[in-house]
Amino acid sequence: MIAEFGLAALWLAAALALLQLVAGVAVLKQGETASPAISALVRPSAAIQGVLAAVAFLALLVVFHQTDLSVKLVAENSHSDKPWIFKIAGAWGNHEGSMLLWVTIMSLAGALIALLERRLPEPTMIATLSAQAFTGLGFYAFLLFSSNPFERLAPPAPQGMGLNPLLQDIGLAFHPPTLYFGYVGLSIAFSFAVGALITRQVTPDFARAMRPWVLGAWIFLTLGITAGSYWAYYELGWGGWWFWDPVENASLMPWLAATALLHSASVLAARDALRAWTIMLGVVAFSMSMIGTFLVRSGILTSVHAFAVDPERGSFILALLAINIGGALTLFALRASTVAEGERFSVTSREGALVVNNVALSAILGIVLLGTLYPLLTEAFGVRVSVGPPYFNPVSAIFFLPMLLVLAVGPLLRWRQDSLGRVQKQVVLIAVVILAALAGVAFSTSIGILPLLGIALSLGIAVASFMPLIGRSILRVPLATWGMVVAHFGVAVALFGAACDSAFTQERLLAAQVGETTQLGPWTVTLEGVDPVAGPNWTAIEGRLSARYGDGRPTEITPQSRNFWTPPQETNEAALLTRWNGQLYAVIGEEGEDDRWQLRLWWKPFVTLIWYGGALISLGGLLALIGRVANDLRRRSVQRRGATRRGEQPS
């Protein structure tokens, strides 16, 4: 019953999206003569559509919580013995459920702008909501015609088929929704861009209306990527934190585009420059979200993320991609020339630095995109290749490292026109820090060129990121500026962690008997024992290791090798021992001959800074978002008061 209720809500939501689109297009067609009755339909349709989609998603959560095995999706992906939190998370741990989650977040976001956004001219808003409805309709069609999450199973299954144990982790409960919030935020930015393009209103107001959505999307993407990276690090047991796996790239590409969009939207909002470019980035950012979804969901890649190995679904997403992006790019080609050129600026100015940031990010985006698609391209010609770190690391570094230099100096420059002479002291200080670090590290160690540059630049940026605060009263610095400072400092922190990890990681692989002790860098590790242990749906062997750092007290860590039974699968649960200056990472393998156990140990100095950096970057985004929204609210209330006062005067 609940399943049918959910399905009905989904159909109704789709119908409202259609109404929203038709009414919106009618209003835009008729222009000035449009009937107010029709244009009054658009915003409420969006709002009610959001509520209905949320109801549908709630219905799915309920059937998963009840483990209603007469629903096909539940029978295929859940199990009555699973802990309840994983039952709920299982609702979106599969293709259909995750697409429903996507559509729900998208409609809720649409409802929010329909209810709250009043800054833009009404025709632009109606064009924006129509674009949003158009994109939404495609996804509703996808859900209802080829991925119905509420499909019944007759007769009901006696028991569910479980859930991939690799995904049975608290990380799963939060990782995909976080990324979806990001993808969907970019769909709002896309709708704003299309709306602005249709009505030729590419103004600073448009950038200000779009910016919170881009910021929000960017915060979620940053968090999602950071969490996903940590998940891969501890769950896969390979000791790496980024593999340039196509699925990781699928989340990185929208992030790169969103980062560029965030910065160009700031230029447009503050200075009314980079108009066409910002529109273009809005289109590109959402395209990357859709390409990411296509790569991950079409089954074209084989990985834990590819739930749907179904060519029909792949073609459907590809068609959606082609219609939305092709349409938007055509519109852009037709209209871009009519978008008047924005304000001008000199090369050494804040805008100039941000242009460098944008171009470099776009170049990196292109490099990652080509590297991700290349294996698919060559496969069409019968050649099978894979592309990994030897391509991605050096090639993206060519653009990444210069961009970091500009990141250090750019925030010190003034808008429109400035000279390096004015900020000479700061620039010299940054240069001294970077060169001193380069020389110091190069002489004391013999690490690779990329980690070396990474360490030096991260120290330079760490110092530079706080310089915009110099000479300002700390209490009166706007929250958005604090956001920039924190986010840029986060870049330095993450870069330092990544560079140290790749430069100084030590690894030990051994087959140890119980009682055997080994040295790894500053660590002394002893295998104290190996015990069998059992969990709710798995059994495992657990190694008891005692690890001692230097002369410190020993700490016990317990890596496991787990066997799940529904479906049968083995996973290595790494054990981590975290200190302020790094992590000890231990994995246990099988029992070899003569009672020896395979152990793999890593000492990873400062590796945790990678994720702390990611968290700082998100925090910076959050501060900026709060600052911007608070500013906007303040301005609105001032305007309202002004309007009331003006209204009172004549009387």
Partner 1 sequence: MNVPLKPKHQRLILVLIALAALIGAGLLAAWALRSQASYFFVPSEMAARPPEPGQAVRLGGMVQIGSVKTDADGVTVRFVVGDGEARIPVRYAGILPDLFVEGSGVVAEGRLGADGTFVADNLLAKHDENYVPRELEHMTEAQMRAAVEETTQ
Among 148, 546, 581, 598, binds partner 1 (CB under 8 A): 598
CB of 374 to partner 1, least distance (A): 5
Q: What radius of gyration, in Å, describes the C-alpha atoms of the chain? A: 27
As measured in angstroms, the least distance from the Cβ of 368 to partner 1 is 9
Size of the site for partner 1 (CB under 8 A): 63
Closest CA to 142 of 296, 317, 295, 321: 317
Residue 591 near residue 597, CB atoms below 8 Å:
yes
Contact of 20 with 129, CB cutoff 8 Å: yes
Helices (H), ranges, 445-589? 449-465, 479-504
What is the footprint of partner 1 within residues 29-48 (CB under 8 A)? none
User: Applying CB under 8 A, does 170 fall inside the site for partner 1?
Assistant: no
Q: Can you tell me the distance from the alpha carbon of 629 to that of 324, in angstroms, rounded to the nearest whole number?
A: 29
Q: How far is CA 291 from CA 102, 254, 329, 373, 444, in A?
A: 14, 9, 15, 10, 45
* Site pattern 418..457 for partner 1 (x: CB under 8 A): xx--------------------------------------
Distance CA 444, CA 136 (A): 57
CA–CA separation, 453 and 596 (whole Å):
42
- Our CB check for partner 1 shows the closer of 28 and 545 to be 545
Binding to partner 1 by residue 355, rule CB under 8 A?
yes
Answer for the pair 226, 321: CB distance below 8 angstroms, yes or no: no
Q: Is 298 in the site for partner 1 (CB under 8 A)?
A: no
User: Of the listed pieces 123-131, 387-395, 490-498, 629-637, which binds partner 1 according to CB under 8 A?
Assistant: 387-395
Question: How many CA atoms are closer than 13 Å to the CA of 632, on its beta-carbon side?
Answer: 19
Judged by CB, which is closer to partner 1: 59, or 354?
Answer: 354
User: Is residue 535 within the footprint of partner 1 (CB under 8 A)?
Assistant: no
Residue 512 neighbours by CB under 8 Å, 6+ apart: 518, 527, 596, 597, 599
Q: Does 366 bind partner 1 (CB under 8 A)?
A: yes
Rank residues 208 and 305 by Cβ distance to partner 1 and give the closer one. Answer: 305
Report if residue 590 touches partner 1, rule: CB under 8 A.
Answer: yes
Residue closer to partner 1 by CB (options 326, 388) is 388
Region binding partner 1 by CB under 8 A among candidate stretches 108-116, 185-193, 356-364, 474-482: 356-364
d(CA 86, CA 175): 13
Helix (H) or strand (E) holding 552: none
Q: How far apart are CA 307 and CA 161, in angstroms?
A: 14
Residue 532: count of CB within 10 angstroms of its CB = 8
Question: Can you give 579-603 as a three-state secondary structure string?
Answer: ECCEEEEEEEEEECHHHCEEEEEEE
Member of 38, 137, 405, 511 binding partner 1 (CB under 8 A): 511
Could you tell me the smallest distance in angstroms from the CB atom of residue 410 to partner 1? 16
Least distance to partner 1, CB of residue 360, Å: 7
Asked if residue 166 binds partner 1 (CB under 8 A), the reply is yes
Report how far residue 560's alpha carbon sits from residue 588's, in angstroms, rounded to the nearest whole number: 6
Binder of partner 1 out of 32, 341, 551, 648 (CB under 8 A): 341
CB of 238 to partner 1, least distance (A): 8
Task: Please tell me whether residue 587 binds partner 1 under the rule CB under 8 A.
Answer: yes
388-417 residues near partner 1, rule: CB under 8 A: 388, 390-391, 394-395, 398-399, 416-417
Q: Is 327 in the site for partner 1 (CB under 8 A)?
A: no
At its nearest, how many Å lie between partner 1 and the CB of residue 282? 16
Q: Is 230 in the site for partner 1 (CB under 8 A)?
A: no
Which parts of 31-121 fold into alpha helices (H)?
Answer: 36-66, 72-77, 84-90, 95-116
Q: Is 302 in the site for partner 1 (CB under 8 A)?
A: yes
Instruction: Provide the binding-site residues for partner 1, judged by CB under 8 A.
Output: 164, 166, 237-238, 277, 302-304, 341, 344-348, 355, 358-360, 362-364, 366-367, 370-371, 374-375, 378, 383-388, 390-391, 394-395, 398-399, 416-419, 509-511, 567-572, 587-590, 592-594, 596, 598, 600
